[in-house]
Amino acid sequence: MPDLTRLKNNEEEFKLKHVFPLLELVFHEMVIRCDVASQAYRDTDTSLFAIIRPDFLIMNGQTELVAVEVKPFNGSPSLVEADEIRVAELTKKLLHRRMAKAKSTKEFSSFGIAIAVGNVKLPTMAHTFTHMTLTLEALFTFRKLIEATLPTEDDLLKPYMSNVMNNMKPTTLYLL
């Protein structure tokens, strides 16, 4: 394996060669869009719409379900934190969009993934292989959680929910 930290454009290459294949393996039945603006920002200032782009969006049809941000190779803590915040903000916007079009309360969920890589290790030793197996198991379990929020054929025949506000809970923010 080449020394990925020395590649000229290592983040883009890391996303293309390592993260995308992993996402494709786990979310193979869904659409994975790379480096495109989320429709959640559609009603935002157009200059922001053009620059706020998650690394990946995982979609079911036209519904954006998962925002993914990637920061490889010992990214500075401030850059990793910025990606985590961006995922949280976008996930909340995705939730609002899903709630506006929901036909059942099970659709009141949105998801985000922040991938921050400190060291890239190949699964050549038992302990690193175990970590990879656990990572895949966690991602497949995550996918099942996402699939449980998708509307069924029966749900699609229902009218849109009119009492969405009754199901909303306040968002709590803790600043330390």
pLDDT per residue as tens digits for the range 91-146: 888 888 888 888 888 888 888 888 887 655 555 556 556 667 777 888 898 899 99
* 7 contacts 75 by C-beta, under 8 angstroms: no
> With bands split at pLDDT 50, 70 and 90, how would you rate the model's confidence at 153?
confident
pTM, two decimal places: 0.75
On the question of pLDDT at 174 being above 50, the answer is no
> With bands split at pLDDT 50, 70 and 90, how would you rate the model's confidence at 169?
low
| In the chain, alpha helices (H) | 10-14, 20-26, 46-51, 77-100, 126-147, 153-157
On the question of pLDDT at 29 being above 50, the answer is yes
- pLDDT for the residue numbered 85: 85
- Give the number of residues written for the chain: 176
Residue 94 burial class via C-beta count within 10 angstroms: exposed 0-12, middle 13-18, buried 19 and up: buried
Nearest to 51 by CA among 64, 37, 39: 37
On the question of pLDDT at 90 being above 50, the answer is yes
Which whole number is the average pLDDT over 27-43? 84
Sheet holding 56-60, edge to edge: 31-34, 56-60, 63-71, 111-116
How much is the mean pLDDT over the chain? 78
- pLDDT for the residue numbered 173: 46
